[in-house]
Structures are given as structure tokens and as C-alpha cells.
Amino acid sequence: MGRQYYQRINCAEKGKIVKYFMTCQGQAYHQIKGRKIYLLLDYDGTLVPIASKPDLAVLPPKTRAILRKLAHYPRCVLAIISGRSLENIKKMVKIPKIIYAGNHGLEVDYQGIYQKIIPPDDFPAVLKKLYVSLRQKMKDIKGILIEHKGMTLSVHYRLAAGKQRLKARHIFFAVIKPYQARQQVTVTTGKMVLEIRPPLKWGKGDFVKWLIKKGAPHRRKPVVFYFGDDRTDEEAFKALKRRGYAILIGRHKRSAADYYLKNPAEVSKVLERIEHSLEA
């Protein structure tokens, strides 16, 4: 992926990065004038607050209305990039003619064209075995939700009690250990979730690079925004390092993002300002 797809952006004076995005947003909106922009957004924890159960993380009507407006601008590429399955994230957002990436970019609806990263032949069977085994071994732990998402599998333990969370993690890693040893799976962790993926070198960062490279050329280099809140978004932050607006939702001691916003409500405000800038 060549660097020509990104514009180097620094909204701070004298080369010093200003971490809180709200302190330098004016320059970001000025950058948008006459340029193609990419708005790339995670869902849970970014567009909506983290919920106790995935189905409860409902997109606020105001945020959906802003996204609908943004989707109508020809020079705005809007993509929702989620760890949810493609079918589920489309169901939650319900906005036609935008780009959806499910399972961290493993499956994509590119404005009506379905694309998928093909896993190894044995992976579906491996994932099914793990799903059955984990359900059986964790059946007595209250508050555990095991979600088979077609191409990945997630174990949510947010609702479990403290000691039960540790027990669930212990069972999880014991079950997957032989599969990891044979390099049949990849494991990632997030906010109160453990996830099993195919053994492929492909994540949100790879998807972001692919998406921008795939885009039609524009007379000026695009301005890229990526909003995310979890460890899986760090891959995308690294892909955009100082060549776009990599914005972390919430604050963490360690992140590849250059800027942060406090919560999904601030994300909605920023999207609204971007829409106003495009309209102007």
C-alpha cells in the first residue's frame, strides 16, 4: 500500500500533536474543502456505547440521520467496520448504499457487491468444534454469551461475576491451546470479549489500506478519518499513522491513535460538523 493514498495531516503547532481532537477540529474541517474524504467508523463503543448484550447497542436516531446525510455526498466514502458479522452490522445500521465490513474486514458489502476473504478449508469445521466445546464447558458460568459469527467466534463475559470471568478465560485458553499450536486459529482480545479468527494476516488495518487503494482517483489526495475504541482498531490506527485522523474513542495509556474523543456522543458531534463542512 503506497503512501500516496494518504495526506499527511498535523493539526498541532510546531509539530506537537494535540491529543484531544476537539481542540483542533477546525483545521480538520478546513482540510475537507474540495477534497474526497473517507469516514471509517467502528460500531460498538464508537457510534454507540458498549452495551451489556450486542443486541442492545442500538444506533441513536440522530446519529443514523447524520450518517444518512453523509452517505449522499459523492465525495464522501462512508464505511462501517465492525467485529460483528456482516449481516448483523447491516441490520444494526440500516443505511443503504454505504460500505459495510463485518468480522473485522473479512467480509465486505462494497455498495452492493459482496466480497470475502477465504479462510483455510478446515477452518469452518474447526470453528464449529470450538463453538460446541466452549458452550459445553462454559454452560455453568452465568453471564457468558458465545456468539458464532460465521467467520469468527466471540466469547463475551461482561455479564459474568469477577471470579467467573477468570474461570471463563481459563477455560477458553485451555480449549484453544492445541488449535493455536497447530496454527489453525488466531485469537484476539477486546473489551470483555475473547475472539477466535481464521489464521490469516488480515485485519482492520489491511481493510482500510485496501479500501482506500480501491477508491476512484481524485484530483487531490483524500482526507481520511478513522474512529475506533478497541484493540482491533489499533491496526487501523497504525495504518493511518500521521497520514490521516486516527481517533480513539475513550482514553488509554497506549494507542497508535494521534487523537481521542471522549465518547460516542462526541463522535456524533464531529460527524455533524463534517456534514456541515461538506454542505458548505
- Mean pLDDT, rounded, for 79-89: 96
Does 244 have pLDDT greater than 90? no
Choosing from 42, 44, 229, 230, the catalytic residue is 42
What's the pTM? 0.89
Separation of alpha carbons 35 and 132, rounded Å: 50
* Residue of 34, 39, 45 whose CA lies nearest to 240: 39
Higher pLDDT, 66 or 13: 66
pLDDT recorded at residue 11: 47
pLDDT digits (tens, 9 = 90+) for 11-47: 443 333 448 899 888 888 888 888 899 999 999 999 9
CATH 3.30.390.30 fits 123-197, yes or no: no
Q: 3-117+202-279 falls under which CATH superfamily?
A: HAD superfamily/HAD-like (3.40.50.1000)
Domain ranges of the chain: 3-117+202-279, 123-197
pLDDT for 218 equals 62
42 an active-site residue?
yes
